[in-house]
Each structure stands twice: as structure tokens, then as C-alpha cells.
A and B are shown apart, each in its own frame.
Chain A
Amino acid sequence: MDDKINEQFRDKVTFISGSSKNAGKTTFLNYLLPRLREGGNFAFLTIGIDGERKDHIWGTDKPQIETLVGDYLLTSEYLMNKSDALFEVLQVFPWKTVLGKLLFLKTRRSGFIELAGPENNEQLGQIIEYIRTDCRIESMLIDGAVNRVTQIASIKNSKFYYVSSLQPSNYKSSLNKLRVIWELSRQERVDSMIEGEGVYCHRGAFTKKNMIGLDDSCRSVILDDFTKVFLEYSELQKFLESRKMSFINTIKLVAFVFILYDIDKNNVLEDLNEMAINCPFIFNPYELSEGGIYDKAIL
């Protein structure tokens, strides 16, 4: 088993976020899981319920997670009952979701399961706290729907992978989205929201309207976290030309994961280079490399 992969995930809360619904996050999760099992206990969960059942990779119903004996996971009672695996119930959380209460489970017999998760930051925080303190599990993989990415910021020392499906119809807009994420992930962290000379603190969403409304004397803006920024790349670029942006909570971007459809990898690399996006990339993790040998060293 790949020690490098294990080291990246061990004792960390890793989110798999994505550019859109059905970008391939759950499939990427399935790709990672077998590589992690030998490294010790870990838990996998999802944030909320996506609501759409198709996935771009499969083109069919949303892929389920294969859970093996000894795996720990979070899902709803309804989905647990639908599963062909067998589970020991370790915890029942008191909140009700549309699919019933959330249960933390240990797998007693392998099978397939669909995940369901908490509906807000507070619940997610309590779940992670429970997993850490009661179950003494520090390594967690969290499959996050794109409209729930705000929740990543609530968990300290978390990091994320960003999965993006690139095709000719969305190529330009997807790259711009990536540029925004890349820029935002590099802004500095500050300890508190304290206004001062030229320093303005803003709670909640930061939009173009907020940007335009800033006083000329404002040189720096402090926000909660990067997920509160709702600017196009050109707007963000304009902002950063004359001002600074800082965050109370920062989240480490580990890598971009690209699922390519009719797009040449080399073209993407060229464009990323031009944009000076300098972080690890993973292309088509399910793709066979040249030698016909599955290249585990991609990560």
C-alpha cells in the first residue's frame, strides 16, 4: 500500500469537494478508499444529500461506496436498511434528516452503501468531535457536495481536494473557477476580526456589490473564509490589484483532480501553467498510464 497516500490522509480531515454536482467526487472517494485501509482506522462521510442520482463517470445511478469489514461510516437509517452490508450501530445522532436520523456505523459484513450527512456546520462539527473523542478516529474522508462547501471551513486543520470535470462546453468557465479557488486558497490567515485603519471586516457572503461598496480608504478586507467569496475571477483580480484579502479560517488545497472529456491533458497543463496555478494536479485517476501499469505515484 502506498505510504505516501497514507501520509497525506492520516490523522487529517480531508474533504473532496467539486466544481458541480456529479463531478466525480464519490467515484474519487471510491478510488482512494482501498488505498487507505491498511493505514489504520478511518471514517468516511458525506455532507448532506446531493439530491441528484446520476454521476458523470458512470452515467447511471449515483455510485455507492463499497464498505468493507471494519470500515466506519456515517449515513441515515433509511440508507442503512437499504444496504446489503451488515452494520453495528455505534451512535444515533438526534437530528432528523429527510432520510431519517443519522447513524455512525461500523461495518460487520462488506457490501455497498449510499451515504447521507449533516445539514449544517454545527451538526458536522459535533459529528467530527464525536468521531475523534469517542471513537478515537482522527482520519476522515468527507465527500462534499459543491453547494455545501462552506462547511469545510468550520473544521480546523482540514484540507480539501477539488474535483472538476472539464469538457469543451465548460472548459473556460471551469478554469476561471479554478483560478478563483487557487487565488483564494493562497490568501493569508489572520487571528481575529479587528477593524483598523484601512482594514475592514465583513461577515457573511462577500459579493461584487460589497466590493463596489468599499470605501476608497479600505486597503484590506478580513472575511470568515474563502467560501464566503462570490466573485468572478476578473472581479477578484481587480480587487487583489489594490487590496488585500485575509481569512479567519483557511483551508489547505491539496490538489485539483481533473476528469477530462475530449480535452487534451497537455493543453490543460499549458493553460494551468499560463495561469501560474502551482499546486499538484491529478488527471483522470482512473486512467491507465502509458506503461499499462496503474500509476499509483500520481498522488
Chain B
Amino acid sequence: MTKRFYEFSEIDKFLCYYSPKSPYGRNEKEEEAFYCETDKLNGIFDRIEQMISFVERYPQKADKIEYHLMRLPELNPNIADGNIRSELFNVKKFLHNYKQISHEFEIDFYSEELLKSLGHEDSQEESFYLKDDYSADLSRVRKQLREINSQLNKSKEKRVGEIHEATDLDFRFLNFLIIKENEIPPNSDSFIFLEQHDKSSVMVKPIFGKEFFLIHNLRKELLESEAGIESEILQMLKKQIIVEQEKLNTYIQTIIDLDTSMAKARLAIQFHCIRPRVTLLENLEFEDLEFIPLKEKSTRAKRIYTSLSVSFNEKNNVVTGSNMGGKTILLKTIAFSQLLVQQGFFVPARKISAPLFDSLNLIGMVNEDSNSGLSSFGEEILNLLETGKVGTRLYLVDEFARTTNSREAFALNCALLQWFAEQETVFSVTSTHLDQLPNFKCLSYWTMKGLDYEKYRLYYHRDKNRDLNERINLINNYMDYSVKPLVKSEVQKDALKIADILGLDSEIIKNAEKYLKNEEYNHGE
């Protein structure tokens, strides 16, 4: 699948509503998986179906599961010593939330012992803290540290009180003060230490005395001892996690499946999507297929949106029709739908049958600037050269060679259609303005129904002042965007009417009609 095909489909405007909650689900979304096997896809679709049923039947459980999915951290498979605590925290938080999910969704959870080792038993919280009772040594050294801290605080408090009494200097809230040089308290040498601050002030710090520093040094030794014991415990916990790594990987895969299925289920419910029927080498069929980006745009602009219903009876199909008749939108709708199917989503339609392709290819323009220095025609040839060469392929061709002269355009289109017909594993949908293209095997012709002449005749009045938006709305009101098999004698030519609605000078329209009549006369029409 090419990037161009992806952009042409505008699928991003729909997938912005697809929101997996966990980092694993979000990573999966970023990967934009593309499936070509029916078994794999049907497995995904089965999960989505089950999830739709679960979400509709147990909405509160579904909400709770999503809450816990959001809280899952991403685990690092390699726990380095420098980040051991943060990784142990992450494992504990992961297991805590996975356990809650397993309870709601009734799936197995095998890591009670590990969770208990990580301190979950008492608090049932996500936080991580090496409690004293991890080991007798840790308990002992921490008790000593608490006692030492208490001694230090008392000693400090006492000393700060003595200094305050002797010098009026209050060190309760800060370890230093700034005072004027001429305000240094007399006889304070044994209480405070002085440092120059600027020309007229000094910084004073309390002197705590030998006893205080002896206790402080003992504290340092105890801290080193504590660090050593903690390190041993952390290493032991790390080993336990390594032993359980396979289970953790299983949980992660379960989360990916659950999270993505739930998010796809939500999307399907929101947009009334159905499960597609996936096939190999059968023809494309759609009933009320909705191109959501356009549907939403139409709703905002208060225009009518027409869904796509067509059952292509051949693998190659040509679609003709008036300007602004919906040919490009038809192709975009097919691109949108095919991508959804092959990325494992349900589709907003009443019914859809789609063959699976190894590659999806676009010959046509997308909304991007070309930096290659090629003309539009040059770009189209480049697109053709870059398409997949093997396997089953879908080609969507949007008015190929429209910018070159009409004779060569006709020749190129005929040749391309012939080539499509000769490839057994190529499917195509081609939009074109060209008339009288030849018949080939496995090729059928279709047309957009185009302007409803009756409505146009009854309701269109040229003289009214209208802005562009109103004119586009008019076209939208008169246009029938549905597609039907082409009967060659009924080819619609609506370009002049469209130009007229859009406001082209009436003189030009009249002259164009004259040329058209002459052309038709010369060709015996």
C-alpha cells in the first residue's frame, strides 16, 4: 500500500476517532498494520464482534476496563541497574491494572506471587516502595536510621534553641542568615560561623558541634549499609521479573488484542459499521457504503450526502460521468473502504464484500505539492512505474492522462485497460471523461447518474445572485451521485450546465454550445 493511496483515501480523518487506550494499543495504531490473509482478518473481526457484544451488554465493565487500560505503563524488556526502581514500579503498576482488567473480562491472571513480592498485598496500590519488612537486615538498619534522625533532629533543635538564646538569631527555618556586619552578636564565636556576603553584610551559619557531626557520620555509614541491602533486594526482585518475562509478554499480547478490539468496537458502534466479507479474487460489492470524511463535511455544510451502492460484476471497471458528478469521490470511497478492511476494521456500510490485495495502487493526484519537477502527466507515469508488480493488486485510476492531448489520452487509456484485462490478479476501477473506450474481457462500464435534468429544468434560474457556496449547493441539489451500468447511448454531457451554474459568462456558454453542435454534426451525431 503506497503512502499516496493512504492519503487519497483520507482514512486519517476517520481513524482520528480510533483511540486505543494503552501505550501498546497506541503503538499498534501507529504501525498501520496491513493484512492480506483472510484467516488473520477473520480472527480480528471475530474479536471485534465479541467486543461489540461485550460493550453493549456490559457498558460499566467496558468503562472500567478502559480506565485500567489507560493506566497501564509500557514495560521495558531490559531492566538496567540505573533504572531498576522505576522499572519495578512499572511492572507493579502493569500487573495491578492487568489484574483488574482480567477480573472484569474474566481472563486468567497468573502473577499473584510476583505482585505480592512487589508489595501489592497490603496496600493494593500502584505505588512502589521497598518496605522495611522486605528483610530483617533492612528493617534493622532503617530502625537505626530513624533513631539517628530523631537524635539529629533533637540535637539540632536544642542547638538552634541555644544559639537563639545566646545571639537572637533564629535558624529554625534556614541554615543561614544574612546580617549587617555591625550587628554580629558579641561572644558568638562558638555559636555561629561567619562568611562575607557583601561589603556590609555577612552570612552566618550555625555551628552544631562535634557531637552532631559524629551522629551525622554514623548516619552516613548506616545509609551506605541501607543502600547495599536495598540493592540486593532490588536485584532479587529483578530476577523474579526475568523469570516471569514470558507471562508478561503474554499479558502484553492480550492487552494489544483487547485494547485494539475494544477501540475498533467503539468505532463500529459510533459509525454503525458492519463486518466486511473478505474474499480472494471475487468482485467488489458495496451497499450503502459511507465515505465518512465527506459525509461529515456535507453535514457541516448542510449538503446532501449519497452513500455508495454498487456490485461490480467484473474485476475491471470504468466509471464515466459529468464533471463534479462524484467520480473521484467514488474512487476515494473505495480506497477508504478497502484500507479499512485490510487494516482490520469494520466498515460503515450496510453490506460489503471485498477481495484482499497484496498491494493497493493509485494513479491520480492527491492533495500534495509535487517536488519532483514533473508535470501532472509525468507524475501519473511515475505512479504507474512505482506500483506493485506481483501478487493481487488493486488499481484506482483517476482520469489518467487528462492533461495530455485527447488523442494520446484515449490511446493510453485503452492500452492501460487492455493491460489490466490481461493480468489475472489485477482489479481496477478507472474514472474517465473519455467516450467510446473499447470493450475488453473482464471489463464493465458504469456511469455516475449525473444531473437530474428535471429538477434542473424546474428549479434553476440563472439570474439570481449567488455566492460560490450557494452555487456548489445547487449542483449538489441537482446531482444524482449514485452509479449505474452504462448504456452507451445515454452518455451524459453536463459540463456546460455545471459551468453555467457556477456562473461562467453566458456568452462563453452560448459559443461553447455552438461549437458542440458543430462537432456533433461533423461526427454524425
- Interface of A toward B, CB cutoff 8 Å: 30-31, 34-35, 57-59, 77-78, 80-81, 84, 86-90, 92, 94, 100-101, 103, 106, 108-110, 167, 260-262, 284, 286-288, 292-294
Contact = CB atoms under 8 A, between A and B. Distances in A.
A77 B174 contact: no
A288 B169 contact: yes
B199 interface: yes
Interface string B408-428: 000000000000000000000
Contacts of A284: 178
Contact of A31 (B74, B82, B83, B174): B174
A288 B177 contact: yes
A109 B83 CA distance: 21
Contacts of B197: 261
A288 B128 contact: no
Contacts of A89: 85-86, 89, 127-129
Given A88-B127, A262-B200, A103 B86 contact: yes
A103 B201 CA distance: 40
The 7 A-B residue pairs with the shortest CB-CB distance in the complex, in nearest-first order: A88-B129, A261-B198, A292-B168, A262-B198, A92-B86, A287-B178, A34-B173
Nearest to B153: A110
Contacts of A88: 127-129
Interface SS of B by simple majority: mixed
Nearest to B119: A88
Nearest to A287: B178
B233 interface: no
Contacts of A294: 170, 173
B266 to A, nearest CB: 23
Contacts of B174: 30-31, 286
Interface string B42-84: 0000000000000000000000000000000110000000110
Contacts of B183: 288
B103 to A, nearest CB: 21
Contacts of B179: 287-288
B145 interface: yes
Contacts of B173: 31, 34-35, 294
Contacts of A90: 126-127
Most buried by A among B23, B83, B126, B146: B83
A110 B223 CA distance: 12
Contact of B83 (A58, A100, A108, A261): A100
A77 B83 contact: yes
13 contacts: A31-B174, A84-B219, A84-B223, A88-B127, A106-B127, A108-B129, A110-B149, A261-B198, A286-B177, A287-B201, A288-B183, A293-B170, A294-B173
A90 B129 CA distance: 9
Contacts of A167: 198
Interface residues of B, number: 38
Interface string B170-194: 1011101111000100000000000
A77 B198 CA distance: 38
A29 B202 CA distance: 21
B342 interface: no
B83 A94 contact: no
Contacts of B83: 77, 100-101
Contact of A262 (B126, B129, B177, B199): B199
A186 to B, nearest CB: 31
A94 B87 CA distance: 11
A146 to B, nearest CB: 22
Contacts of B178: 284, 286-288
A286 B74 contact: no
B86 A287 contact: no
Nearest to B88: A89
B198 A260 contact: yes
Given A167-B198, A261-B197, A293-B170, 4 more contacts: A81-B82, A89-B127, A92-B90, A106-B127
Contacts of A110: 149
Contacts of B142: 86, 109
Contacts of B170: 293-294
Nearest to A59: B195
Contact of A77 (B82, B145, B168): B82
B197 to A, nearest CB: 7
A77 B149 contact: no
Given A31-B174, A34-B173, A92 B89 contact: yes
A78 B82 contact: yes
A228 B195 CA distance: 40
A219 B325 CA distance: 48
A64 to B, nearest CB: 11
Contacts of B126: 90
Contact of B146 (A78, A109, A292): A109
Contact of A287 (B145, B177, B195): B177
A86 B148 CA distance: 14
Nearest to A66: B175
A35 to B, nearest CB: 7
Contacts of A292: 168
A108 B146 CA distance: 11
Contacts of B93: 92
Given A34-B173, A35-B173, A94 B85 contact: no
A80 B169 contact: no
Contacts of B169: 288
B337 to A, nearest CB: 35
B199 A101 contact: no
Given A89-B127, A261-B198, A262-B200, A94 B82 contact: no
Contacts of B200: 262
B177 A100 contact: no
B223 A77 contact: no
A78 B81 CA distance: 11
A288 B177 CA distance: 7
A234 to B, nearest CB: 29
Most buried by B among A57, A88, A89: A89
B86 A77 contact: yes
A101 B86 contact: yes
A59 B178 CA distance: 14
Contacts of A58: 176
Nearest to B231: A81
A261 B199 CA distance: 8
A79 to B, nearest CB: 12
A288 B93 CA distance: 49
A208 to B, nearest CB: 34
Contacts of B168: 292-293
A106 to B, nearest CB: 8
A100 B23 CA distance: 20
A77 B169 CA distance: 37
Contacts of A80: 85
Interface string B135-164: 000000010011001000000000000000
B146 A77 contact: no
Contacts of B89: 89, 92, 103
Contacts of A100: 82-83, 86
Nearest to A259: B178
Contacts of A78: 82
Nearest to A69: B149
A88 B198 CA distance: 42
